[in-house]
Amino acid sequence: MATDAPSNPSSNPVTSEFNARSFDRPRDRVAPDSLRGHWSDGAEVALDLTEVTLVVAIKSDCDGCREFINADLEELRVPVVVISAGDDESSEWTGARQSVFVSPEAFRLLDVRWPPFYVLIDPFVHRVLTEGVLFGPEQVAAEIAGYLHA
């Protein structure tokens, strides 16, 4: 039965209020030391990964993704590369605080199968340090903190 009643915002909390976290164990695998693709504005680029880097895979129509790319990410304490698999999504990210790197190849190289997802990589040892489902900046900061040097 359809209803015309408006949604109650207090009954639809934002994911960050849930204290959500990833729970699957990271898969041990090799990480690349560079990624090729283009920025959402079309500029082709090869990104050399020269330090521990957080790569965040986003998708369209994703509230958590939108929250993440519009957030202040300083609390993460690492460089962040936000990636998308396709150009068809790039218009959604226009005006976002974080630049979006379009790279289907990055998804393949990092074995990202289902965004929203993050991968913390160490290019010095060519390994994925940890990974998980993306719920928000605070959740990711808490999950990667143990992998970062003080």
Report the pLDDT value the prediction gives residue 72, as an integer from 0 to 100. 94
Tell whether the model's pLDDT for residue 17 goes beyond 80: no
Mean pLDDT of 61-83: 93
Prediction pTM value: 0.82
Burial of 72 (0-12, 13-18, 19+ CB in 10 A): exposed
Domain ranges of the chain: 38-124+135-147
**Architecture, CATH, for domain 38-124+135-147:** 3-Layer(aba) Sandwich (3.40)
Q: Give the integer Cα–Cα distance in Å for 50 and 40.
A: 22
Tell whether the model's pLDDT for residue 150 goes beyond 70: no
CA angle 108, 83, 139 (to 5 degrees): 105
Q: Give CA 13 to chain center in angstroms.
A: 21
